[in-house]
Amino acid sequence: MSRKVFVFQGDSITDGCWSRNGDPNHILGHGFAFYAAAFLGEAHPDYKFYNRGISGNTSWEMRQRWDVDALALHPDVLTVLVGINDCLRQSKTDCNTKTKRHSSLEQYEENIRFCLTETCKQNTNLKVLLGIPFYCRVSGFVENMEFPADEKEYDFIRNVRLSA
């Protein structure tokens, strides 16, 4: 029986601290990818699940690794949840200072379209679940984040719309 491939792709929400060393106890992390795979895997044992989310990634960084972390896996089902790092300027208290690259809504859309287009070229029957970036106010964290002054340009959280 040929196994179908389900790939979780995105930033920290997807990452969920998945193990990069092959530890089977943590291969999908401790977040929604783990729970989704556990739920779906019972009903669909013919699927192989991969988590390729990377905490702190922007859509641009995800796009840069797309060949290895998505196309090389030949997904039949793909979830993409990325974008909050594109639109928020991190505060001084942020633990992720490795990247400070921010995207306009147009750049974000271009990155997502590129990734999905390349994957659909590979598999015309691809099923995609595209998540919209979001944040939750958590005491002591989100209050310290600075949102860009130009709300129209960085209106990801309320207005991410990718037309067909």
Q: Which two tokens stand for residue 107?
A: 């750049």
pLDDT at 106 over 50: yes
CATH of the domain at 106: 3.40.50.1110
What's the structural domain count of the chain? Answer: 1
Query: What does the alpha-carbon distance between residue 83 and residue 46 come to, in Å, rounded to a whole number?
Result: 31
- The reply to whether 164 falls in a domain is no
Nearest to 24 by CA among 46, 1, 2, 51: 51
Query: What does the alpha-carbon distance between residue 103 and residue 107 come to, in Å, rounded to a whole number?
Result: 6
Evaluate whether 37 touches 49 at the Cβ level (below 8 Å): yes
pLDDT of residue 159: 44
Evaluate whether 6 touches 77 at the Cβ level (below 8 Å): yes
Helix ranges (DSSP H) in the chain:
12-15, 32-43, 59-64, 66-69, 84-87, 105-122, 156-159
- The reply to whether 89 falls in a domain is yes
pLDDT at 36 over 60: yes
Q: Which two tokens stand for residue 136?
A: 């939750």
pLDDT digits (tens, 9 = 90+) for 118-131: 999 999 999 999 88
Mean pLDDT over each residue of the chain, to the nearest integer: 77
% pLDDT > 70, the chain: 70
Structural domain for 88, as ranges? 4-159
Evaluate whether 105 touches 156 at the Cβ level (below 8 Å): yes
pLDDT digits (tens, 9 = 90+) for 57-104: 889 999 999 999 999 999 999 999 998 787 764 433 344 444 455 667
pLDDT of residue 163: 41
